[in-house]
Each structure stands twice: as C-alpha cells, then as structure tokens.
Amino acid sequence: MAQPTAWQYVKLGSNLELLRGVSSVSLMQTTSLVAFPNLMENLPARRYSVVRVVEALKSLLILLEEMKLEQSLAQAQHLRPMLKEMEDYLAQTAAPDSAYLHDHFAERLVELSKYVALALKQELGAR
C-alpha cells in the first residue's frame, strides 16, 4: 500500500476515540427523551451498543494492518479475544441492536484501547 492517507489517520483516530469513550448500559440516562430521537441516539448507551463497538474495533484493526503500524497492531491483538466474544454473542442473540456492554467488559475495553492509543502515538512519533 502507498503512503497512508489523511482519511485513514482521521478514521483511525475516531475509532480509537470511540473505543476509549465506551460506556455501559448502567450509565443510561433515566430521563425520557422519547420526543427527541436525535438526542436519544446520542446517549452513551445508544452510541456504544455492542454492534457499533464491533464495527469500530474491526475498522481499527483493518486500518492498523493497512497502514502497517506494526507496534500498534501488536498492542491491538489483546482486543481480538474481546472482539470474538462480542461477535459470538451477537451471533446468538435475537436482537443484536439492543445489546450493550457490561461494566467490567467495557472497562477492560477502554483500558486496552488506551494502550493501543499510546502505542500508536509512540509509533507515529517515531516516523
């Protein structure tokens, strides 16, 4: 692949930022916003459904591979078992769009995402 594009860097950053901001269903707001569907969609529990986290994680891994960011990809390998666990769960649930992360799982995902972001910062700084 040729030199990474600006779009790839932006997408990489947005995927990492989403993963670093993951929250769990226990953080869902209790106030009813039914009359405001755009605000409802932006609540943490809606933004960070398992389906969306899986999409961001897959995109992140693909971008790291395409951009040949080997150190960051090595750090991201710790996310693969979590990705598999989420994909397995989604495959067997009747309503995947309503699946949200449990607290401890979300906490671990955020922690690992921070390590990937640190590795990426160091790797890009060395280029």
63's CB contacts (< 8 A; 6+ apart) are 8, 11, 12, 15
Q: Are the C-beta atoms of 121 and 13 separated by less than 8 Å?
A: no
Note the pTM of the prediction, 2 decimals: 0.76
d(CA 25, CA 102): 7
Identify the pLDDT of residue 32: 64
User: Which of 90 and 48 is assigned the larger pLDDT?
Assistant: 90
User: Domain-by-domain residue ranges, the chain?
Assistant: 6-22+32-126
Q: Are the C-beta atoms of 48 and 103 separated by less than 8 Å?
A: no
pLDDT over threshold 80, residue 104: yes
